Amino acid sequence: MATWWRLCVCSLGILLLAPCSLSEKFSLIGSPHPVVGVVGQDVVLPCQLSPPARLSSMDVQWRKIDPGFILIHEYSDEGTQDLPGEGYRTRTELFLREFSRGNVSLKLKRLQVMDAGAYQCLVRNPEWTQEATTELQVAGVAPVFIDVLGPRGQGIGLICRSTGWFPKPELQWVGKNGQNLAMEIVTDVTQDREKLYSVVSHVTVTEGEDNGDISCIVRNGLLETERQSAIHLSGDVFPRVSPWLAAFWVMFTLGLIAAGACAYLGYTAKRKASQKKHSKEEAKLFYGRSPALSPIVSIEMCELGECLV
Ligand SMILES: *[C@@H]1O[C@H](CO)[C@@H](O)[C@H](O)[C@H]1NC(C)=O
C-alpha cells in the first residue's frame, strides 16, 4: 500500500515539474571576453542559446546598458516584428536564419567610437527569461604619412601625421638601426568630435648616424597593431658649408679684425698727437693773451714741459 502511494506522488511530481524543467535546461551565453571592433567596420555581438535550439513564442531584445538602457534591436515572434532601435536604423541586423540553432547574435555595422560599451541580449517566452551581457571595445587605426619640410639649421625638418586612431595612440621615430631617434621631437595629439585621435610629430634630423632610413611608427595598444611610414634621406639633402666658403669666412673675419686693430691703433696715435698739439696751443694762447700774468706761472709752465717761446 505504501509503495503504491509513493509511486503515485512521484508520478504527479514528474507531471508537474516536466514543463518547468524543459525551459530551465536552457541557458543564454554572451561573450566571456570583450569583443573588439574596428571603426568603420562591422562587428558581431555573440549571444547563443544552449542547447542550440529556439524557444517557442520567443522575444529577443538587444540593449545597450550604459548610459541607462537603450533599445538597439527588437524581435518578436508575435506579429513577426524585427526592428532596429532609434538611432540605429540601418546599422543593426539579427541573423533570423540562425535562430533555429539558438544563435541570436547581433550584427552592428559601420562602427563608431561611441558604440563602445556593454550590451545585453535578452531572450524570453511566456515561461522563461534570461539575459547575457557582452562588452564591445572599439579601436581605430589609420595610415601614417611622412613629409619633408626642408632645411632646418644644420638638419632637415620632417613631419609625421595620422588621423583616425582610438584609443590614444603612441608615436615613435626610429632610425636605420631600429633605435629611437635622439633628436628633439615635438608630438601633438588631438581628439575630434567623433572621439578619434590625430597625431602630428616634428623632428629635425641632422647628418650623422641617425640619417638614412627614418620611420615614423604609430601604435594602437588595444589592437596591438601599428602603422608606419619610412623615408630615406641621402647625405646630399643635408645643408652643407663648402670648404671654400668656410675659408672665405675665416679670411674675411681675420681681415675684419686686422682692419679694426689698425684703425684703433691709428686713431689712438693721432689722438695722442693732437692732444699734445692742443696743449701746446692752449699754453701759447694762455701765455700770449695774458701778458700781465705773473712770471711765476710762466716759469711753472716752463718747468712742466718744454718752455714756450
Ligand atoms: C551566429 O551567426 C553569425 C552569422 O552567421 C555568425 O557570424 C556567428 O559566429 C554565429 N554565432 C555563434 C555563437 O555561432
Q: What is the CA radius of gyration of the chain?
A: 46
Which ligand 1 atom lies nearest to the CA of residue 47? 13
pLDDT of residue 86: 77
Q: Does the pLDDT at position 11 exceed 70?
A: no
DSSP 74-121: EEETTTTEEEEPTT-TTTEEE-GGGGGGTB--EEE-S--GGG-EEEEE
pLDDT of residue 114: 93
Number of neighbours of residue 160 by Cβ within 10 angstroms: 26
Burial 83-96 (b: 16+ CB within 10 A, else e): ebbeebeebbbbee
Q: Are 66 and 135 in contact (CB under 8 A)?
A: no
pLDDT of residue 52: 93
Per-residue pLDDT tens over the stretch 19-75? 444 556 889 999 999 999 999 999 999 999 999 998 989 999 999 997 788 999 999
Q: Across the chain, what does the average pLDDT equal?
A: 81
CA of 30 to the centre of ligand 1 (A): 12
In angstroms, the CA 237 to CA 302 distance is: 77
Ligand 1, from 43, 99, 105: best to mutate by most atoms within 8 Å of Cβ? 105
pLDDT of residue 284: 58
Q: Does the pLDDT at position 304 exceed 60?
A: no
CA of 103 to the centre of ligand 1 (A): 6
Per-residue pLDDT tens over the stretch 152-171? 888 889 999 999 999 999 99
Between the two ends of the chain, the Cα-to-Cα distance in Å is 172
Mean pLDDT of 131-141: 96
Mean pLDDT of 78-95: 84
Which ligand 1 atom lies nearest to the CA of residue 44? 7
Cell of 287: 701765455
Q: Does the pLDDT at position 236 exceed 70?
A: yes
In angstroms, the CA 149 to CA 215 distance is: 15
Is the domain covering 23-138 a CATH 2.60.40.10 domain?
A: yes
pLDDT of residue 239: 75
Protein residues with CB under 6 Å of any ligand 1 atom: 44, 46, 48, 95, 98, 103, 105
The pair phi, psi for residue 168, each rounded to 5°, is -50, 120
CA of 110 to the centre of ligand 1 (A): 18
pLDDT class of 213 with cuts at 50, 70, 90: confident
CA of 105 to the centre of ligand 1 (A): 6
Same fold? 23-138, 145-237: yes
Mean pLDDT of 265-277: 74
Is the domain covering 145-237 a CATH 2.60.40.10 domain?
A: yes
For the chain, the structural domain boundaries read: 23-138, 145-237, 243-303
Which ligand 1 atom lies nearest to the CA of residue 98? 2
CA of 111 to the centre of ligand 1 (A): 18
pLDDT of residue 277: 65
pLDDT of residue 300: 45
For residues 191 and 233, the model is more confident at: 191
